[in-house]
Amino acid sequence: MRHRTLLDTSCRSTADGRHASRSNPPRSFSGAAGSTAHKSTKSRFFFASALVTIDRAQGVIGALLTTPERVSRYLWVRALALSALGTGETAFIVFVAIGPDHEWRWFVAGAGLLSFIYALVGMAIVATYAEFRSFLRASPTWVFAFSLPLLGSVHLLPGWLFLWHPVKPALILIEGSARAVSSSAVVYGILAGIVSCSVAFRLAKSRLLALGPPEGI
């Protein structure tokens, strides 16, 4: 009976320890999740810009510009495909590098939003450059600008300073997958993330439409 009591106590202590590590992880743990996810998903920025450049050179973009609806469909297909690939890739990297102890529903939501935003922003920005080489030369500045919220994730600056930033909502969801966060933070992450995606979509659409259809169409 005594051994059984000791065993029950040990099991409860282990469960409590796991719960405590989930609720109060090391300061660097949730930041590492956000930083790792950000590094992985930002490749969507370059993939999307490369796809637009190729489609533009082959005349695909010009053919789409005859109607705004076709441009919208193009953006949705490209962004969703890249977002799905980016989310899967990021989840695998975080699983291997950091471990499985995550609230994966929030991680997938955050990584999906981040990949979607990066894909749309990449398509919007590359459309303003006549040559892809010019885009690549300017890309470090854009990547730096979109990486600023990580200063809050790794506790170099207060996180609230970046609540205005378009990728901050996604990072909040990703970091919330590794530590306990308030329900208001989750609501902000979801709603503000949707707003960021909507703004990025409208920006990408306007930039592509501004290219104008080729002559003769």
**In this predicted model, what pLDDT tens digit does every residue of 180-209 receive, in sequence order?**
778 888 899 999 999 999 999 999 999 999
Task: Check if the beta carbon of residue 168 is closer than 8 Å to that of residue 191.
Answer: no
Task: Check if the beta carbon of residue 100 is closer than 8 Å to that of residue 22.
Answer: no
Residue identified by tokens 């990408």 is 204
The whole-number average pLDDT for the span 103-117 is: 89
Residue 27: what pLDDT?
Answer: 45
Task: Check if the beta carbon of residue 44 is closer than 8 Å to that of residue 86.
Answer: yes
| 26 pLDDT above the threshold of 50 | no
Residue 165: what pLDDT?
Answer: 93
The whole-number average pLDDT for the span 11-28 is: 41
Residue 68: what pLDDT?
Answer: 82
pTM for the model stands at 0.79
| 24 pLDDT above the threshold of 50 | no
Dist. CA 163–CA 4, nearest whole Å: 51
| Residue type for position 121 | V
The whole-number average pLDDT for the span 61-80 is: 90
User: Which uninterrupted H or E stretch holds 53?
Assistant: helix 43-57
Going by C-alpha positions, the residue among 30, 3, 7 that lies closest to residue 110 is 30
User: Which uninterrupted H or E stretch holds 211?
Assistant: none
Q: Which residues contact 143 (CB under 8 A, 6 or more apart)?
A: 42, 45
Q: Which residues contact 45 (CB under 8 A, 6 or more apart)?
A: 118, 119, 121, 122, 139, 142, 143, 146
Mean of pLDDT over the chain: 81
Angle between helices 104-126 and 132-147 (to 10 degrees): 140
The whole-number average pLDDT for the span 161-175 is: 90
